[in-house]
Amino acid sequence: MAGLSCSIAAFTVGCHLTRKATSPRTEPFAVNGLERLVHKPLMTVYKINPGGATYPPITLYEDGLVIGLQPLEKDAAGPDWWVAHLTPHELAEFRERFEATDIDRVPSYIHLVEGLKDGVSTRILFRMRDGWRSVSVYGMRDDGKAESYGMQGMDASSAPDEFIAAYRMLKEFHPAGATPWKPELIEIEVRDMSGSHAPPFPWPREVPAPPEDATTPEKVETEAYRHILPGIHRTTMRMLILRANHAFEFNGRKWWLSMRDLLPEEDYLREVERQQYW
């Protein structure tokens, strides 16, 4: 699973991704550092495809903060978000309904379709009174059926009802009074593209570039460098990456770039992700 090794510089934080082969936990677990967070995460849900994790459609926090993903329109340059703030009563009611789905009784990992390659995993991370739990279902469509449902000779299995109920509750939640949200930080993933013959775009002058010592061929040969920038550069980088087809030049080399919006306390959520595995 993914873990982070980070270095800090002025206005930027860069993180190299490391991987560890492990097995999912079956019991609730604690993750240190929760008490130091401004916004303490409670639950989130997202899909993991062969290319990596997609944006979570919703993330809830202990102080009532809720950040959700707007439906992605055709030809959109990237994701847009909404934000809402639940009252203590509204949050308590939502948590009670979520726990009533009995999601905590579902096994940590369910494989719906034997032999399926390059399928999608749907994962719910949630914090109960006794710690964090992670429940993943591999090979599930949005309606809860297996990806092979309806295919001749394939099993028409479905995810457990408890999982489907919790997933739908999170995915369909959109509180009244939600307003547009812009991320305070964005993450630029940097990978070596020196073998490309495509003409690269120069790195924009108004945007802080990754440090030279962090983007050497040796360091990015097997793992990406994650360049963190203030959200004010979001529109510039989003449009440039689209125009340049991801190819940029800086530090004398060609690089492949992709961009990701960062949610509040995403480093902590990544640590929860890492620790869900033994």
The count of other CB atoms within 10 Å of the CB of residue 121 is 17
Give residue 39's domain range: 31-181
86-107: average pLDDT: 95
Final residue before a domain boundary, out of 158, 181, 204: 181
Final residue before a domain boundary, out of 181, 203, 235: 181
- pLDDT given for residue 252 in this prediction: 79
- For residue 243, with 0-12 CB atoms within 10 Å meaning exposed, 13-18 middle and 19 or more buried, which class applies? exposed
Contact 134, 53 (CB under 8 A): no
- The verdict on 82 and 169 lying in the same domain is yes
Contact 220, 191 (CB under 8 A): yes
Final residue before a domain boundary, out of 181, 203, 228: 181
35 Cβ contact list (under 8 Å, min separation 6)? none
Query: What would the pLDDT profile of 239-263 be if each residue is shown by its tens digit?
Result: 888 877 667 888 778 888 888 999 9
Model pTM greater than 0.85?
A: no
Classify residue 163: in a domain, yes or no: yes
Query: What would the pLDDT profile of 170-191 be if each residue is shown by its tens digit?
Result: 999 999 899 999 999 999 988 8
CA separation for the pair 52, 59 (Å, rounded) = 18
Residue among 47, 273, 24 nearest 141 (CA): 47
- Tokens, residue 178: 């939600």
CATH code, 78 = 3.30.1560
Contact 26, 277 (CB under 8 A): no
DSSP string, 84-96: EE--HHHHHHHHH
CA separation for the pair 81, 187 (Å, rounded) = 16
Classify residue 22: in a domain, yes or no: no
- The verdict on 75 and 158 lying in the same domain is yes
172 Cβ contact list (under 8 Å, min separation 6)? none
DSSP 8-state code for residue 253:
E
136-147: average pLDDT: 88
Report the percentage of the chain scoring pLDDT > 70.
Answer: 79
Q: How confident is the model at residue 164 (pLDDT cuts 50, 70, 90)?
A: very high
- The verdict on 207 and 124 lying in the same domain is no
- The verdict on 208 and 168 lying in the same domain is no
Q: Is the dihedral of CA 231, 76, 269, 127 positive or negative?
A: positive
User: Is the model's pLDDT at 19 over the cut of 60?
Assistant: no
17-43: average pLDDT: 78
- The verdict on 97 and 63 lying in the same domain is yes
